[in-house]
Amino acid sequence: MSWLKRHPLPSPGPAAPAGVNSDDPTDEPRDCSGSDTASTDSHGCASNGGYGTDDTLAVTRVLEQHGIPCCLVGVAALVFYGAGRVREDWEICVPTERVAQAAELLQSPPYAAQYRPVTPWPYYSPCSLIHTYPRFKSRGINHYFFLVPAVDVHMVCDPSSFTRSLRGLPYPRLEVLLQSCLDTWDMLQLCEVVDGTNVSEEWGEKNLNLEGTNDVAWAQEKNKRGEEFGGKWAHSLFAWEGRKDKREMWRSVVRTKNDRLDWTKPTDVFVTQYRVIGSQDPWTELSDIS
């Protein structure tokens, strides 16, 4: 049975929350100084020196208190596992059938006093439907987040699939995140996670499902949803529909860690592009960014 048959899509609903403010948040300042003259709420500094980590934790706790499981995906998950990426908005994954409920919850008392819906992401992101997701801002501070349907990251959004940072934020377990990369043929994220964690080829053989290929039916369905959403990117690529052997993908990435080192990262110092030889796993240390 295919993954989509085991995790069917709900009936389509509005991609963005109702009541979106007319101001375009992408034009708002992304630093912690000053205020936005085009907006009704100010732009104080987010928590943790502007990273917004504890602010995001507060959002996840609201969702969890109302029985909506959630975890951080996208760049946030890559950073948690050691990748050297710069995060803009936080991406909060929730069960696909509960995205609308989560968006409605955040716009209801008492949470509407803390969060407000903003204009959806206005740019095309390759192999992503991010422009279709509900997007919110914490009132008074420079903190933005999306609600991401679990189907779009090919993941079961359930507490059994999560681990937590030392600050308490939920993230996909390492094997869950890597399996998602393989099933969706996301080579960029696969490289980022492998280089951030420095996992071995043998680890993957023990912990991942490397049989068969990526999920072509899932990719076709994702592209179909992107087309049906419409807009100027309706005919863009939202997922790779080709077929690639998962074990071949895995081996090609874990066996080429050194190939991704440039002249600024000598092999006598770096074991991967993100890891110094002998360094501690980043998720085992308290951090303001995750």
Residue 35 has pLDDT above 60, yes or no: no
Phi-psi region of 226 (alpha: psi -120 to 50; beta: other; left: phi over 0): alpha
| Element housing 76 (H / E) | helix 75-80
Q: How far apart are CA 177 and CA 3, in angstroms?
A: 16
Q: What pLDDT, on the 0 to 100 scale, is given for residue 1?
A: 56
The whole-angstrom separation of Cα 23 and Cα 119 is 7
Q: What is the mean pLDDT of residues 10-35?
A: 44
pLDDT for 121: 83
Over residues 193-204, the mean pLDDT reads 98
Query: Could you tell me if 127 and 52 are in contact, meaning their C-beta atoms sit under 8 angstroms apart?
Result: no
Which pTM does this prediction carry?
Answer: 0.86
Through-space distance between the first and last CA atoms of the chain, rounded to whole angstroms = 36
Which pLDDT tens digit goes with each residue over 114-168? 999 999 887 777 778 888 999 999 999 999 999 999 999 999 999 999 999 999 9
Mean pLDDT of the chain: 88
Name the more confident of 229 and 163: 163
pLDDT over 60 (residue 15): no
What does the pLDDT average to over 81-92? 93
Side chain identity, residue 109:
P
Residue 18 has pLDDT above 70, yes or no: no
- Percent helix, strand and coil across the chain, each rounded to 5? 40, 10, 50
Long-range pairs for 111-118: beta carbons < 8 A, 24 or more residues apart: 111/62, 113/139, 114/58, 114/138, 114/139, 115/59, 115/139, 116/21, 116/41, 117/16, 117/17, 117/18, 117/19, 117/20, 117/21, 118/20, 118/21, 118/23, 118/25, 118/144
What is the rounded average pLDDT of the residues 242-271? 96
69-83 mean pLDDT:
98
Neighbours of 190 (CB within 10 A): 21
pLDDT at residue 9, as a whole number: 63
pLDDT at residue 233 in the model:
67
Residue 120: C-alpha distances to residues 134, 196, 263 (Å): 6, 30, 39
User: Residue 28 above 70 pLDDT?
Assistant: no
On whether the CB atoms of residues 72 and 80 are closer than 8 A, the answer is: yes
d(CA 54, CA 288): 8
Going by C-beta distance under 8 Å and a sequence separation of 6 or more, which residues neighbour residue 65?
A: none
pLDDT at 236 over 90: no
Hunting for tokens 């992101």 — which residue is that? 125
Is residue 67 very low, low, confident or very high in pLDDT (cuts 50, 70, 90)?
Answer: very high
Cis (ω within 30 of 0) for the bond into 110? Answer: yes
CA distance 34 to 43: 7
Alpha carbon distance 142, 208 (integer Å): 38
Question: How far is the CA of 48 from the CAs of 56, 136, 139, 274, 280, in angstroms?
Answer: 11, 19, 16, 22, 22
Contact 154, 218 (CB under 8 A): yes
CB 216 within 8 A of CB 170: no
